[in-house]
Amino acid sequence: MNAVTPKLHDCRDAFVGVLERLGAENPKIVAVCNDSVGSSKLGGFKSKWPERLVNVGIAEQNMVGVGAGLANGGLLPFVCGAACFLTGRSLEQIKADIAYSNANVKIVGISSGMAYGELGPTHHSVEDFAWTRVLPNLPVVAPCDSIETAAAVEWAASYEGPVFLRLSRVGVPDLLPADHKFALGKANLLRDGDAVTLVANGTLTHRMMKAAAILAEQGTEARVLNMATVRPIDVDAVVAASRDTGAILTAEEHSTFGGLGSAIAEIVVAESPVPMKMLGVPGIFAPTGSAEFLLDEFGMSPNAIAEAAIALIARKTSRA
């Protein structure tokens, strides 16, 4: 009997669903975008409250500055745009106008990672974890499914201070329970095991779950952590994973330099050193191709992840 294929969800739909609901409750919520009403799926918000959507055109630096100004004026702005341009072009404004000023602005990077795959390296956003997680005052969050996206948007609206939400347009299955509540800096244990720990967020979490299922068929039980918060990261969960399983494998739709894997390695090397392997874009400009194709090419298909985990377990065993 064939397994039922899970329904895939575009996390942008969950984002705008919550934004519109909260917008109806709170007239201070406004949206700011860079000629990206369509790709940010803000059409419904614009139809309901045209005066509460500011479209600055293709001017990301201005967009972030406008968001900061609106926050200083007592409003609650969600600044939305393609993650590659939002973070790359306006990093100085994010640093000075948002993080340094501790402005109550929610920065929403849409179509992150390699979601714009066919548009090539200029549109890949595989550096944004590295750029944003070094900034003080700025939580960095990459939800794994539509349920966590909705919960994270709800949390962000209630959080007093800046937030960077990293959302993809690539469809993913729902993994978390429908009543999930987002907690900043807390990992979610999706599957327990003692042989190795698999850690991911965003579009990679469901691939890690598939890899864990493959490993289980081979008699290897892997722990799977969904690490949605890259900053502040869940130190306790990482240390426990290191001590309990003795090996950690990370995967991310990001460069292997400065991203989720690097953040976890910083903890492991200081608190509980164990063999680690980081999967991601290996420090190159990722080529043109669909996001699914590119993830597979960079060794992040479920089968390839399972193989990397077996190799990592062998490294652990050889040290024993």
Assigned domain for 1 exists = no
The predicted pLDDT at position 188 comes to 98
Same structural domain for residues 144 and 211?
A: no
User: Which pLDDT belongs to residue 196?
Assistant: 98
CA distance 44 to 36: 13
Model-level pTM greater than 0.85?
A: yes
Report angle CA 10, 76, 168 to the nearest 5 degrees: 20
Residue positions counted in the chain: 320
pLDDT at 320: 62
Q: Do residues 73 and 222 both lie within one domain?
A: no
Kindly state the average pLDDT of the residues 93-104.
Answer: 98
Domain membership flag for residue 179: no
Q: Is the pLDDT of residue 223 over 70?
A: yes
Residues 204 and 249 in one domain: yes
- Domain assignment present for residue 178? The answer is no
Nearest Cα to Cα of residue 224 among 258, 203, 255, 250: 250
Q: Are the CB atoms for 56 and 33 separated by under 8 Å?
A: yes
Q: 21 and 76 share a domain?
A: yes
- What pLDDT, on the 0 to 100 scale, is given for residue 267? 98
Buried b (16+ CB within 10 A) or exposed e, 171-197: ebbbbbeeebebebbbbbebbebebbb
Is residue 199 predicted with pLDDT exceeding 50? yes
Same structural domain, 161 and 204: no
Over 70: is that where the pLDDT of 231 sits?
Answer: yes
In a domain? residue 49: yes
Same domain, 168 and 255: no
Domain at 44, CATH number: 3.40.50.970
Domain containing residue 226: CATH number: 3.40.50.920
Query: What pLDDT does residue 318 have?
Result: 78
35 plus 151 within the same structural domain: yes
What average pLDDT does this structure show over 270-292?
96
pLDDT value, residue 5 = 82
- Residue 319: predicted pLDDT: 73
**Judgement on whether residues 121 and 247 belong to the same structural domain of the protein:** no
Residues 6+ apart with CB under 8 A from 37: 43, 46, 53, 55
Domain membership of residue 181 (yes or no) is no
Note whether residue 298 is domain-resident.
yes
For residue 183, pLDDT beyond 80: yes
35 lies in some domain = yes
Q: What is the mean pLDDT of residues 16-22?
A: 98
Tens digits of residue pLDDT in 31-62 = 999 998 998 999 999 999 999 999 999 999 99
How many CB atoms neighbour CB 237 within 10 A?
A: 21
Q: Out of 117, 139, 173, pick the residue that ends a domain.
A: 173
Count how many domains the chain has: 2
The domain containing residue 278 runs over which residues?
188-319
What was the pLDDT predicted at 1?
Answer: 41
Do 164 and 109 form a contact (C-beta atoms < 8 A)?
yes
Whether 182 maps to a domain, the answer reads: no
Q: In this predicted structure, what is the pLDDT of residue 2?
A: 52
> Residue 56 is encoded by which pair of tokens?
């600055």
